[in-house]
Amino acid sequence: MGRLDGKVAVITGGARGQGAEEGRLFASEGATVVLTDVLDEDGARTADAIQGAQYLHLDVRSESQWQQTIDAIVARHGRVDVLVNNAGIDLAKRFEHTTLEEWERIVAINQTGVFLGMRTVARAMFAANRGGSIINISSVAGMEGAKGRAAYGSTKWAVRGITKVGAMEWGDRGIRVNSIHPGIIETPMTAGLRAFTDADVHARTVRTIPLGRVGQPIDIANMALFLASDESAYCTGQEFVVDGGIHH
């Protein structure tokens, strides 16, 4: 039997990268998977390649779209057991050069999107009265200062904080809330970074990682699987760092 047999899992940012890998792994472990994203072609293609998976368009910045999406999932499947708040964008820019428009866009997707997802899904979990697991993807930039990441890092610290509040407020309803903090992971979002485009920078980066390699989406998916499953039944309000040992 799979570790997620019978569970209904919603994964934002599921069209590619970490979200897509989580969808594939969750489905292989018995979950009914719903992928959401704004990259509709990629999302539909990813879902089509996963047996039993469904793709729905969702801009995580939109309160109404969140409600419509979760209502549709509950109408079809009866409940939501797992939410992975995976959707997010990066901005590599020094503090003094970051514009207000850039700041607000990062906050809307990376922070407000997580808030809306947690709130909407928690309400659905209350109604089903079955508890559940909410997994928020933060970053090691939410554990320490990240040079050149004022906007991005701020949102990832916020995700870490709201995770703890959700865990405290909803524990008595059987809802667990945890955050995952990836290090350097090779995904479409990070593909343009010099750590992946410049061989010398890549080599120097790898030398800073105790385990001697950059991370892959499956490394994050495996941690998400643990947190989605009943194997983590006594874990809530915690940070799970997956970075090859950089943050210690």
Residue 132, beta-bridge partner list: 175
Identify the three-state secondary structure at position 210: coil
**Distance in angstroms (rounded) separating the CA atoms of residues 82 and 193:** 31
Q: What are phi and psi of 35, to 5 degrees?
A: -95, 140
* Nearest to 177, CA basis, from 165, 188, 189, 187: 165
**Distance in angstroms (rounded) separating the CA atoms of residues 145 and 140:** 9
Q: Provide the 10 A C-beta neighbour count for residue 168.
A: 12
Catalytic, 152? Answer: yes
Q: Provide the 10 A C-beta neighbour count for residue 242.
A: 18
Catalytic one among 26, 115, 152, 170? 152
Q: Is the dihedral of CA 124, 119, 15, 5 positive or negative?
A: negative
Tokens encoding 72: 């549709």
Active site residues: 152
